[in-house]
Chains A and B, each alone.
Chain A
């Protein structure tokens, strides 16, 4: 890797880190696991003046059960998130999606908060965050701590609602309680490549019907997208057992509801997929994700 020159600081505490970031100015970047930032540096697509390394700050590490939500420290590695019993028990959708992030090497280095703060709509975690209405805890030297709801966190492509002097401390993942089924459906070409489209689905079932659904879409626009139209359409839909290999003829209300999955999205065009194909995939994959979640 031959990046342009930059300064590097590794503060010992979160407070020092916040100070360092404030002092370093607009062109500084926060470095944690480096799995998103270092490729940008390598390609010289990013020229930060300095890097504030928060990867080893103990305040940013670990998973805590905090009653009505689970707190995941921003610098907790994907590997640690996937293997956390608290995450597995209380927010399985997070565990499912995190397990699909890139490859084992990246999951050992990359961090939960880093991936979210990178705000790449092709990343797997942003769609989960919006589906579950997570809250982002940010801290700065001047403003102290504040919470940003997931619905406001992803401003634009690679642009989180973090000010230049703010460090993401962690994410609060609400516990949804009993009755929910989950599934993360990821469509990609090779095991370690980005999702062409991903669907994060949480479904609350009651008496054979879908009572409530939460659906986030990966890579269907410049930010992660909440498939609100599908959520609405699914409310009260009976969960039918599909005929194996069938699905032709007969009413299929879940499939019909998922036909709305691409509504209001503006998916990107790239080498792996054009927008119309992504819209098609969003519909098919949302249907699959909802069925899997409903039957989980």
Chain B
């Protein structure tokens, strides 16, 4: 039986759930010091004075620094994605020196012998601020007389993209529907807060960080701090979730490293949850204006998107690139004649935004799937029917979209049919009609999301054409040990995904060894020396391919040795389930025997290097395009505004599946996060730029108790762009579910005259929406 496709329980979990873990915060070193940051209480202000003298005298305090102390060496936090010619990348000091631009920006820090003393001494630092006006609203920020976040103004960049003749598509179109949607600001909430430990032996530096990107971080820290790359080791130990929030080069990482360089001692920083809400980069925060032109029969002519994207106060690692990742997705699974996308990045005095699970694609999918429902309503069509009329048919693959991407494979009909059956679509529509007829205070809504997304980041050449600062390859090293066991070293850096299990399954099949005989090593730049890390649903489709290719190389080497040992030609040696056999004879050698023979090296083919290992670096030829159909039924209590998801069906097509259990977990978690955006989560700043959602009592995330039992299933249309036939799954659930939920809510309330509810669709917002359309008579 092959390993790929088996619902293997994760190798990681016994250790993780029994607490035998090594989070960054667990790391202790002799003489370790602790740093606490003093953060700006002002959204925008000039720093006129910082007095650290009193804090220096506090018990246990070793050092106190302000931004001025680091000014000469701290550099600027990097932005690796200068998206356009006109992009403005302001200087971004890790610790503010002369001006603060968001509440939470670090202005000083205390280094002390324990973290309590460090926190206590923060009170003794005196900072004088000269207030400057906060800039909070994107549209106001773009007006002439708006106060400026940076000298250069509030516009970060503009970026446009077109396919087809958009004017022709809209001119004379029988139907045009235009809507505006708001992607609220979100706070990624990984279970493990960020933490950093830096240490030095006087010459080299080691930094442990709760990061998704140890390899990228190493490069960036070297560039930022001037510590030579070969003197810097980055380790991502156990990392408890990221969702993009740990795809970053943070001020705290840089400063912790600088403090260690200055003091020569190990230094640790661990954020509190409230500190994290303030200063983990935020997600989404866009205003989307979307127009769709269509024929009366529902056929799409064109889509126009005008986007404002809130950058926050600075451009961080990929801040300006996030909207671009959505730019190619506003056409979704649909055919149309023309498409136009324009985006303006805007600076505000808020925490910078950056990648958050889905990064660009959830926004695009939301606007598109919402507007498809609006178009259906406008035309009096069933919302599924309008989708059917427009989507790319199975026989049309591979299909090059109006946005210029070539979707390699897909079967929207199959996924939709399966979802409709599991959901009981017609029966629910009948119940909806009945409730409407009875004027039931609890109305039923049905929401559809037929999504695709681009992931598996990414072909390096494409990234280059988009001005991204790095490639999209991934690396693996596979080695057979003398006893026949296998070590897989991966450049992917797991933080909850289950790489160890999935890579073991791929290697076990490729080398014909037991699943248990494979171990996977990752997350340390001294050991996993090459990598591009984990984000953008890339691990399996890029990193998994690298593992497979390295295994293939090992196998070919082993075949040479087998042929030599069996005195046969390599062409006559077949590999099956771990054994090399001479075709037509019984003579065979197991791969384990060969591994030992290579180790001994007594009798190898002439010129054969005595090693049974191989490296592979895989650069994908295309993105990965998972797709699926999600259906959501929601009951909305029109008296209170409370909504309750009654059923949720997700049928996803992620191509060939390596481990169904892991896919299931990714889908469940993704759904929870997408539903959370629809119903619960929102970062709120007040009119002075103070973040109000600094605790989990204010920033609500749903728990299992708030979510329905998900009905999940899959169709399997293999990707043709990689030999495994796999597609990414890490973000699909998040991307698909948000519009399914909001479409359901709007569908429930449409007879009341409602055609939008702003996210998150809180009970109060639903109630107020009903109040406004009913003239106060909800």
Complex A-B: 26 CB contacts under 8 Å: A2-B36, A2-B115, A2-B116, A2-B272, A4-B119, A39-B695, A43-B274, A187-B640, A187-B642, A187-B763, A189-B680, A189-B763, A190-B700, A190-B702, A190-B705, A191-B705, A191-B706, A192-B705, A245-B438, A245-B440, A246-B438, A271-B684, A271-B692, A271-B698, A272-B764, A274-B764
Closest B residue by C-beta to A192: B703
Interface status of A248 (Cβ within 8 A of chain B):
yes
Inside 8 A of B440's CB, which chain A residues have their CB?
245
Interface status of A108 (Cβ within 8 A of chain B):
no
Cβ-neighbour of B441 out of A4, A103, A189, A245 (below 8 A): A245
> In the complex, are the beta carbons of B764 and A273 less than 8 A apart?
yes
- What sequence of 0s and 1s flags, for each residue 178-197 of chain A, a beta carbon within 8 Å of any chain B beta carbon? 00000000010111111010
- What sequence of 0s and 1s flags, for each residue 407-445 of chain B, a beta carbon within 8 Å of any chain A beta carbon? 000000000000000000000000000010011110000
Inside 8 A of A4's CB, which chain B residues have their CB?
119-120
**Residue of B120, B640, B680, B706 ringed by the most chain A CB atoms within 10 A:** B640
Shortest Cβ distance from residue A283 to the other chain B in the assembled complex, whole angstroms: 10
A2 to B121, CA, bound (A): 12
Inside 8 A of A196's CB, which chain B residues have their CB?
763
Shortest Cβ distance from residue B685 to the other chain A in the assembled complex, whole angstroms: 11
Shortest Cβ distance from residue B112 to the other chain A in the assembled complex, whole angstroms: 11
Cβ-neighbour of A193 out of B115, B700, B767, B768 (below 8 A): B700
Known: A2-B272, A284-B640. A191 touches B703 (CB 8 A): yes
Inside 8 A of A245's CB, which chain B residues have their CB?
435, 438-441
**Residue of A42, A43, A196, A271 ringed by the most chain B CB atoms within 10 A:** A271
Shortest Cβ distance from residue A274 to the other chain B in the assembled complex, whole angstroms: 7
Interface status of B693 (Cβ within 8 A of chain A):
yes
A154 to B766, CA, bound (A): 33
A194 to B441, CA, bound (A): 25
- B 35-56 contacts with A by CB, 8 A: 36
Inside 8 A of A43's CB, which chain B residues have their CB?
274, 695
A267 to B703, CA, bound (A): 27
A272 to B767, CA, bound (A): 12
Interface status of B191 (Cβ within 8 A of chain A):
no
> In the complex, are the beta carbons of A285 and B640 less than 8 A apart?
yes
Inside 8 A of B274's CB, which chain A residues have their CB?
43
Known: A2-B36, A189-B763, A196-B763. 7 other contacts (CB 8 A): A3-B116, A42-B272, A189-B680, A190-B700, A190-B703, A271-B684, A272-B762
Interface status of A146 (Cβ within 8 A of chain B):
no
> In the complex, are the beta carbons of A277 and B767 less than 8 A apart?
yes
A271 to B184, CA, bound (A): 14
Interface status of B572 (Cβ within 8 A of chain A):
no
A273 to B440, CA, bound (A): 25
Closest A residue by C-beta to B684: A271
Shortest Cβ distance from residue A241 to the other chain B in the assembled complex, whole angstroms: 16
> In the complex, are the beta carbons of A5 and B767 less than 8 A apart?
no
A238 to B703, CA, bound (A): 41
- What sequence of 0s and 1s flags, for each residue 106-145 of chain B, a beta carbon within 8 Å of any chain A beta carbon? 0000000001100110000000000000000000000000
The 9 closest A-B pairs by CB, nearest first: A191-B705, A245-B440, A245-B438, A2-B119, A277-B764, A190-B706, A284-B639, A273-B764, A190-B700
Inside 8 A of B17's CB, which chain A residues have their CB?
none
- What sequence of 0s and 1s flags, for each residue 235-249 of chain A, a beta carbon within 8 Å of any chain B beta carbon? 000000000011110
A105 to B493, CA, bound (A): 32
Interface status of A280 (Cβ within 8 A of chain B):
yes
Count, A-B residue pairs, CB within 8 A = 63
Shortest Cβ distance from residue A189 to the other chain B in the assembled complex, whole angstroms: 6
- A 250-296 contacts with B by CB, 8 A: 271-274, 277, 280-281, 284-285
Closest A residue by C-beta to B435: A245
On A, residues with C-beta under 8 Å from B are: 2-5, 39, 42-43, 103, 187, 189-194, 196, 245-248, 271-274, 277, 280-281, 284-285
- B 604-639 contacts with A by CB, 8 A: 639
Interface status of B697 (Cβ within 8 A of chain A):
yes
Closest A residue by C-beta to B767: A277
**Residue of A189, A194, A284 ringed by the most chain B CB atoms within 10 A:** A189
A193 to B36, CA, bound (A): 30
- What sequence of 0s and 1s flags, for each residue 436-460 of chain B, a beta carbon within 8 Å of any chain A beta carbon? 0011110000000000000000000
A271 to B696, CA, bound (A): 12
> In the complex, are the beta carbons of B767 and A280 less than 8 A apart?
yes
Closest B residue by C-beta to A191: B705
Inside 8 A of A192's CB, which chain B residues have their CB?
703, 705
A189 to B765, CA, bound (A): 12
Closest B residue by C-beta to A278: B764
Closest A residue by C-beta to B117: A5
Inside 8 A of B706's CB, which chain A residues have their CB?
190-191
> In the complex, are the beta carbons of A5 and B116 less than 8 A apart?
yes
- B 663-711 contacts with A by CB, 8 A: 680, 684, 692-693, 695, 697-698, 700-703, 705-706
- What sequence of 0s and 1s flags, for each residue 20-39 of chain B, a beta carbon within 8 Å of any chain A beta carbon? 00000000000000001000
Shortest Cβ distance from residue A45 to the other chain B in the assembled complex, whole angstroms: 10
Closest A residue by C-beta to B119: A2
Inside 8 A of A191's CB, which chain B residues have their CB?
703, 705-706
A245 to B443, CA, bound (A): 10
Inside 8 A of A246's CB, which chain B residues have their CB?
438
Closest A residue by C-beta to B434: A245
A196 to B441, CA, bound (A): 20
A273 to B706, CA, bound (A): 19
> In the complex, are the beta carbons of B640 and A281 less than 8 A apart?
yes
> In the complex, are the beta carbons of B441 and A247 less than 8 A apart?
yes
Shortest Cβ distance from residue A196 to the other chain B in the assembled complex, whole angstroms: 8
> In the complex, are the beta carbons of A271 and B693 less than 8 A apart?
yes
Shortest Cβ distance from residue B38 to the other chain A in the assembled complex, whole angstroms: 13
A272 to B700, CA, bound (A): 10
A103 to B698, CA, bound (A): 16
A281 to B641, CA, bound (A): 10
Known: A43-B274, A274-B764. A189 touches B700 (CB 8 A): yes
Known: A187-B642, A284-B640. A277 touches B703 (CB 8 A): no
Inside 8 A of A2's CB, which chain B residues have their CB?
36, 115-116, 119, 272
Inside 8 A of A277's CB, which chain B residues have their CB?
764, 767-768
A43 to B116, CA, bound (A): 13
